Copies of this chain bind each other. A is one copy, B any other.
Amino acid sequence: MAPDAVEVIGAKRDRQELSDSQIDWVVDAYTRGAVADEQMAALAMAILLNGMSRREIGRWTTAMIASGERMDFSSLSRPTADKHSTGGVGDKITLPLAPLVAACGVAVPQLSGRGLGHTGGTLDKLESIPGWRASLSNDEMLSQLESVGAVVCAAGDGLAPADKKLYALRDVTGTVPAIPLIASSIMSKKIAEGTGALVLDVKVGTGAFMGTVDEARELATTMVALGQDAGVSTVALLTDMSTPLGLTAGNAVEVQESVDVLAGGGPADVVELTLALAREMLAGAGHDDVDPADRLADGSAMDAWRAMISAQGGDPSAPLPTARETHVVPAPSSGTLTRLDALAVGLAAWRLGAGRARKEDAVQAGAGVVWHARPGDVVTEGQPLFTLHTDEPERFDRALEVLEGGYAVGDGSAYTPSPLVIERVG
């Protein structure tokens, strides 16, 4: 007899381990609509509060993969490696990273999403480039991976449809922050995508989903095990997200910063994280004899970027859109910038129009926040500290309000920088 939804919910409610057949049945039945949204919502809350064993998470992930198609890159002439970030403020790393790794001889099949809330989406950033399109067929993707070596595009509906449905449900039922469900959601898509190696960038801090190193380590350890069990060479870096990355948060402003990095410049932290992730991806794909720093220096990463953008209809030479209005926030006093809070900056960028509150909202290509100093930098009273960008000046007040308590200028003698890469798991 097939399991019954109330029996499966009751087992997890009563702190029992779900059996393989219970997990297979409930994920499949939910995807088919035989288990109702209200039943899956109760189960998701029970999983959030009572947890899941490693075995249960693994089986749940496998069941979500089995709900849809799997991609296959074995026909490519080079190995594949992908990166996933759990989401942060100013996190444009995919943009310089994908062409850089491609320039080192490893193909990067990056299926990305759009942003929701205060962390930006990679596709939203790239769509600020005139002509660039996010949707590719599987054949177009494969052909571009062979010719250019890097693709950043929207995930099709065929990959892990169970996850798509469950994610939308978790979003409205307060069941997003459950490590078993976060881990299986991310890993089901990445494993179905068919990458050979995977590097996870697990963010920690105010601007990230995981507020503490312990939570981030648990999530990272869980995901690395899921990847290894599925035959994907997987490692994770825990990286700091108490301070936003680089000097920009938004869409076109982050593309410009990424191009600066590919041109050999850009903020030191963005360069550092891009190289650290590139080295892990190359190692995972068995190409660790190549130093990605050389490919940044010799311009080949920039060549790969231009080819990648062009292949998807974008004009890499066209000027990027700018916002109609800007507003400068000066430094309130002279001293050292001792704190710049990632969540405050992310919310400000969101309120300026760079992000969306609902899936169906549009984003402004030019909107965002640019800051002119990073923690540890000395600033002079009255010098520009932030420039806010938006098409709709009525948005400035609410952005300024959230930015207000998000930074501090003071005596720098006690300031100690925190490391960007906190820990490696794998």
Contact = CB atoms under 8 A, between A and B. Distances in A.
Interface in A30-75: 36-46, 48-50
A173 interface: yes
Contacts of A9: 45, 173-175
Contacts of A5: 172, 174
A78 interface: no
Interface of A: 5-6, 9-10, 13, 36-46, 48-50, 169, 172-175
Contacts of A46: 45, 49, 174
B174 A36 contact: no
A134 B5 CA distance: 33
Contacts of A39: 41, 172-174
A42 B174 contact: yes
A35 to B, nearest CB: 10
Given A5-B172, A42-B42, 16 more contacts: A10-B174, A13-B45, A13-B175, A36-B37, A36-B38, A37-B38, A38-B40, A38-B41, A38-B172, A39-B172, A39-B174, A41-B41, A41-B42, A42-B173, A43-B174, A49-B49
A330 B169 CA distance: 55
Nearest to A9: B174
A295 to B, nearest CB: 44
Contacts of A10: 174
- The prevalent SS among residues of A at the interface is helix
A37 B172 CA distance: 11
Contacts of A174: 5-6, 9-10, 13, 39, 42-43, 46
Nearest to A6: B174
A44 B48 CA distance: 14
A62 B41 CA distance: 26
A50 B45 CA distance: 11
- 5 smallest A-B Cβ distances: which pairs? A9-B174, A45-B45, A38-B41, A42-B173, A37-B38
A33 B285 CA distance: 52
A169 B42 CA distance: 10
25 contacts: A5-B172, A5-B174, A6-B173, A6-B174, A9-B45, A13-B45, A13-B48, A13-B49, A13-B174, A36-B38, A36-B172, A37-B38, A38-B40, A38-B41, A38-B169, A38-B172, A39-B41, A39-B173, A41-B45, A42-B44, A42-B175, A43-B174, A45-B45, A45-B46, A46-B174
Contacts of A13: 45, 48-49, 174-175
Nearest to A36: B172
A48 B49 CA distance: 11
A175 to B, nearest CB: 6
Contact of A38 (B6, B48, B173): B173
Contacts of A36: 37-38, 172
A84 to B, nearest CB: 25
A177 to B, nearest CB: 8
A108 B169 CA distance: 46
A36 B39 CA distance: 12
A296 to B, nearest CB: 43
Nearest to A175: B42
A45 B12 CA distance: 11
Contacts of A37: 36-38
A34 to B, nearest CB: 12
A93 B174 CA distance: 44
Contacts of A44: 42
A255 B18 CA distance: 44
Contacts of A42: 41-42, 44-45, 173-175
Contacts of A175: 9, 13, 42
A9 B174 CA distance: 6
